[in-house]
Amino acid sequence: MAKAAIMGFGTVGSGVYDIIRMNSEKLKASAGEEIELKYILDIRDFDDHPEKHLFTKDVNDIINDSEVTVVAEVMGGLHPAYEFTKELLNAGKSVVTSNKELVATYGSELLAIAAEKNVNYMFEASVGGGIPIIRPLNRCLAANNIKRIAGILNGTTNYILYQMITNNKSFDTALADAQANGYAERNPAADIEGHDACRKIAILSSLASGKEIDYNSISTEGIVNVALEDVRYAAAMDSVIKLIGYAEFLDNGKVYAHVAPMIINNSSMLSGIDDVFNGILVTGDAVGDVMFYGAGAGKLPTASAVVADILDSVIHRERRSKIGWIKTDEDVCASADDKSFRYFVRTESSAEDAEKVFGGITKLDSLVENETAFVTEELSASVMAEKKAELGGVISAIRLFA
């Protein structure tokens, strides 16, 4: 029998509990042994809970219990999740997590400790909620050099954009709905300003390259400046606007990455990822394009991935499962100018001025009075910034996904 603990009894933690209770026979069959939940750590009181005897407020109960071999860290946030995880790994216990902030920030160190202690540190739920992406990227696509990862990685922003586009809901109402459904972060700025997607693309690109990609080096823009007019122009281009976590693995060995709203043509598989769903398009040099799609947030979908990691940790108790990356001194991140994009631009300036400054542009029929809209040729980030400043009056500039 394997003994497990849950740290954090919020949305995901209670989902982990529910799945362990709901699917106990299935889990036993998959693990080859029963998985007994011995502790639930939370600072709050759960006196009315039918299994209130499982609750503790002292992490040392778990750390010092040699029977516990696997712990689900679903507390979120950096502290004390980092300290607890470190202590648990050092105590020889496997830890599985949905905590993308922790994995993106301290993943290299925690993975190194897990390797040293011959235990598992698993994080399938940290990206894409219930969508299998970490293991497939690490295992099933292992024969490939990954060329590109482009993902709709944040359910809250995808939900907001979808509600704005299809139901004419205001930004605030759509955000409130996402919060009520348990999709949003405690501080929704992490969603709408793109930081959550940034952590996730940092994890995926670190995994694909085998080297830590520091999330601080990823240029990050959220959806707060996306206007309904932009959405209408996108529709006129047979496209939609989505918040994309983008990583390209360049021939010079560096990784170019950004998080930004992008215009996605309706011919792309990413264009149909609606509502709270996530979609991740991975391109490998052998396999070509592979799409991962499903529920990227929410209680049971995220808990589904956490419980799968618990199972895998039980199965790999003796021989740890190798998954992760290392921190190197190499400069792995490409500069913003190592990759060019075409841009959709809205400006108060005239089409003539736009043509003078940008050269070859594709003009769009104006949908808003006294505005010019056009699409540029491929430009690097710094050339785009220069031309934007030179033209003046630019209202929006959004990259096209190709």
| Binding positions for ligand HSE, rule: CB under 6 A | 129, 154-156, 183-185, 191, 196, 296-297
Q: How far is CA 284 from CA 141, 145, 248, in A?
A: 7, 6, 11
Task: Report, in Å, the least distance between residue 76 CB and ligand HSE.
Answer: 9
Task: Report, in Å, the least distance between residue 196 CB and ligand HSE.
Answer: 5
Task: Report, in Å, the least distance between residue 341 CB and ligand HSE.
Answer: 24
Q: Which residues pair with 152 in a beta bridge?
A: 279
Half-sphere exposure in the Cβ direction for 216 (13 Å, CA): 2
Task: Report, in Å, the least distance between residue 350 CB and ligand HSE.
Answer: 40
Residue nearest to ligand HSE (CB): 156
Q: Residue 298 has what DSSP assignment?
A: S
Choice between 76 and 284, CB closer to ligand HSE = 76
Choice between 107 and 129, CB closer to ligand HSE = 129
Q: How far is CA 27 from CA 30, 179, 219, 294, in A?
A: 5, 31, 41, 22
Task: Report, in Å, the least distance between residue 183 CB and ligand HSE.
Answer: 4
Choice between 8 and 155, CB closer to ligand HSE = 155
Choice between 87 and 185, CB closer to ligand HSE = 185
* Cβ within 8 Å of residue 72, ≥6 positions away: 4, 5, 6, 7, 13, 16, 95, 96, 97, 306, 307, 309, 310
Chain position carrying tokens 């990691």: 309
Task: Report, in Å, the least distance between residue 300 CB and ligand HSE.
Answer: 13
* Cβ within 8 Å of residue 306, ≥6 positions away: 12, 15, 16, 72, 74, 96, 97, 98, 124, 125
297: left (phi over 0), alpha (psi -120 to 50) or beta: beta
Query: Out of 100, 200, 339, 388, which one is annotated catalytic?
Result: 200
Task: Report, in Å, the least distance between residue 244 CB and ligand HSE.
Answer: 14
Query: Rounded to the nearest 10 degrees, what angle do helices 351-358 and 381-391 cross at?
Result: 140
Choice between 39 and 183, CB closer to ligand HSE = 183
200 is catalytic: yes
* Cβ within 8 Å of residue 93, ≥6 positions away: 62, 63, 68, 69, 70, 71, 119
Take residue 66 and report the two structure tokens written for it. 């040699």
Choice between 97 and 154, CB closer to ligand HSE = 154
Task: List the one residue out of 86, 21, 9 whose CA is nearest residue 307.
Answer: 21
Choice between 13 and 284, CB closer to ligand HSE = 13
Take residue 152 and report the two structure tokens written for it. 């709709």
* Cβ within 8 Å of residue 82, ≥6 positions away: 102, 105, 106, 110
Residues 227 and 233: beta-carbon distance below 8 Å: no
Q: Residue 59 has what DSSP assignment?
A: H
Q: How far apart are CA 178 and CA 165, in angstroms?
A: 15
Choice between 37 and 150, CB closer to ligand HSE = 150
Task: Report, in Å, the least distance between residue 138 CB and ligand HSE.
Answer: 19
| In 177-227, beta strands by DSSP E | 219-220
Take residue 236 and report the two structure tokens written for it. 């006129």
Take residue 225 and report the two structure tokens written for it. 């400046």
Catalytic residues: 200
